[in-house]
Every structure is written in C-alpha cells, then in structure tokens.
C-alpha cells in the first residue's frame, strides 16, 4: 500500500515535469517568434526614415529584452504557473509587435 502511494506521487511529479517541459518549449518558441518580429520591425523602421520608432516600439523592445533576460537566467527554475504567466506575457509582446508591424507597413503604402 505504501509503495502504491509512493509510485503514485512519483507519477504526478513526472507528469508535472513533462508539463513544465512542454511549457518551456512553448516559451522558447514564442521567444524565437518575438525576436524575429522584433527584427522585422527594426528593419522596417531603419529602412524608412519617415517612420518614427516611437515610444511604444521602444517599450516593446525593452519589454522583450527584459523577458528574454529573465528567461535565460532561470527558465528551468520557474514553476508551472510562472511559466504560464511568462507565456502570456510573451504572447502579448508578439501580438503588440504584430500590430506595430502592420501599422508601420500600412503607413508606408
């Protein structure tokens, strides 16, 4: 009976580790996507002098850099809820970058 309890808890721990691994992978993929979008936006801004980078873009770049720095430091030590929160924040950054890219492209047409 005690062994069943022990193995049951081990299985829960293992599932939690698997869930964390999936979340870390999702976060890494979002980070890659956000970095590519940041590069796209920076390229649009650099090629078109009439497009001002503005405070919003600068804030997005800083936010992405801060998230990236924090994740590079301790991504493996984050618990599941912290990983989910980081994913939400990163998705928000990606969506904001998409909006800025669309806005700048439209203003150039």
Q: According to the model, what pLDDT value does residue 11 have?
A: 46
Return the domain boundaries, the chain.
Answer: 21-108
Which one-letter DSSP state was computed for residue 51?
A: S
For residues 70 and 91, what is the distance between their CA atoms, to the nearest angstrom? Answer: 16
Q: According to the model, what pLDDT value does residue 66 have?
A: 80
Please, how many CA atoms are within 13 Å of residue 74, restricted to the half-sphere of its CB?
Answer: 9
Q: According to the model, what pLDDT value does residue 6 have?
A: 40
- pTM assigned to the model: 0.67
Closest of 109, 103, 99, 69 to residue 86, by C-alpha: 69
In order along its 109 residues, the chain shows pLDDT tens digits of 334 444 444 444 555 788 888 988 998 898 889 888 888 888 877 777 655 656 777 777 788 788 777 777 666 677 888 888 888 988 988 898 898 888 878 777 6
For residues 68 and 19, what is the distance between their CA atoms, to the nearest angstrom? Answer: 21
């Amino acid at each position: 009976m005690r062994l069943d309890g022990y193995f049951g808890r081990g299985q829960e721990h293992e599932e939690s580790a698997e869930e964390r691994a999936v979340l870390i992978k999702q976060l890494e993929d979002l980070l890659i996507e956000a970095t590519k979008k940041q590069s796209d936006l920076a390229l649009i801004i650099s090629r078109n002098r009439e497009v001002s980078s503005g405070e919003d873009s600068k804030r997005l770049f800083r936010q992405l850099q801060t998230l990236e720095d924090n994740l590079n430091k301790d991504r493996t030590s984050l618990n599941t809820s912290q990983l989910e929160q980081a994913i939400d924040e990163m998705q928000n950054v990606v969506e904001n970058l998409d909006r800025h890219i669309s806005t700048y492209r439209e203003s150039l047409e």
